[in-house]
Structure formats: C-alpha cells, structure tokens
Amino acid sequence: MRFFLTLACVGMLIAAACPAFAQATGSPSIEVEKPWARATPAGAQTGAAYMTLDNKSGSADRLTGASSDVAATLQIHEMAVVNGVMQMRQLVEGLPIPAGGTVELKPGSYHIMLLRLKKPLTAGETFPLTLTFEKAGNISVAIPVQALSATPEGKPGGMGNMEMK
C-alpha cells in the first residue's frame, strides 16, 4: 500500500510538472471523439470527463496526463470491481492506446478524474481540457457538460456517488 501511494505521489508530481513539457497543440495521429462531462452538484470536490480516443497512427501511444483550469489536479483513473466492490484507481503509468485502435473513457470504466474542482460543472457549459500523449503531444478539447442525470450506460449513480478509496 505504501508503495502504491508513493507511485501515486510521483504521478501527481509529474502531472504538476507537465506544462513544462508542453508541445505543439493539435495532432492528426489521435482523434478525440464525443467528449463530455457530467454536471456536478454545488460543493462537489470531484468530477469526471469522458471521451473516445481514436489512434489513427501506425504506432501505439499513451495518454499520460491532462490539465484544465476547472480543477486543481487531473488524473487518469480506472474503475474496476475489486473483491466485489466497485473501486477506482489512478493509472500512474497512463492509459495505452493501441496502434490503429480506440479506447473509450466512459462511466464505470476509464475516465479523467477532476480533483478539487474550482467551480461546479454546469450543464450546457463547456470547459477546455488539454490531454497529453506520449507521442502525439498535447491535444486541447472542449468538453460539453451534460445534465447530472445523464447516464449513457443506463446505470444509476456513476462518478457522482463515487468516493476515493
């Protein structure tokens, strides 16, 4: 457990230092499709952003981080059932995107976690978010915010009810 926490902290330090490695914005090799985030209730500390990442290139890439003005810290998370309990964990190594493949970030699965929100995410608004890829560099996208009740997977709850374990 201590080892994992140490890794998580290193991940956060790297994420914090990431703007120093900012590269040219926009890249044809990764296409970001259907970005969205769920609206957050007043006072919420966390939110989540979802999208589909389509790797158009012939080489594997990796989502290594994200940044946005709306939250102090952004992390790449995975939700999974551990011992019968739905939990989420940070992908400190990033999220691999296979050559020519797509990876879907969606409720109950991979997501961009927004930690320490600076203001609530309001339905109907959009906010800018920059994704950082190992090879494709930085790609900025506008994330539309959907109503709190939006549950594309038909599951109740979702991130709104998740607690950090």
Closest contact distance (angstroms) between CB of 73 and Cu ion is: 11
Give the separation between CA 148 and CA 141, rounded to whole angstroms.
21
Kindly give the residue spans of alpha helices, DSSP state H, lying in the chain: 2-17
Binding map of Cu ion across residues 111-130, x = CB under 5 A, - = no contact: --x-----------------
Shortest separation between residue 79's beta carbon and Cu ion, angstroms? 7
Residue span binding Cu ion (CB under 5 A) among the ranges 51-59, 69-77, 100-108, 120-128:
69-77
DSSP tag of 110:
B
CB of 59 to Cu ion, least distance (A): 28
Closest to 77 (Cα-Cα) out of 159, 9, 3: 159
**Ramachandran quadrant class, 23 (left: phi over 0; alpha: psi -120 to 50; beta: rest):** beta
Binding residue (CB under 5 A) for Cu ion from 39, 49, 63, 88: 88
Q: Which residue has its beta carbon closest to Cu ion?
A: 77
Cα–Cα distance list, 79 to 48, 110, 124 (Å) = 12, 6, 26
**Least separation, in Å, of the C-beta of 29 and Cu ion?**
26
Q: Is residue 37 at the binding interface for Cu ion, with CB under 5 A as the rule?
A: no
Burial class (CB in 10 A: 0-12, 13-18, 19+), 49: buried
What residue ranges bind Cu ion (CB under 5 A)? 77, 88, 113
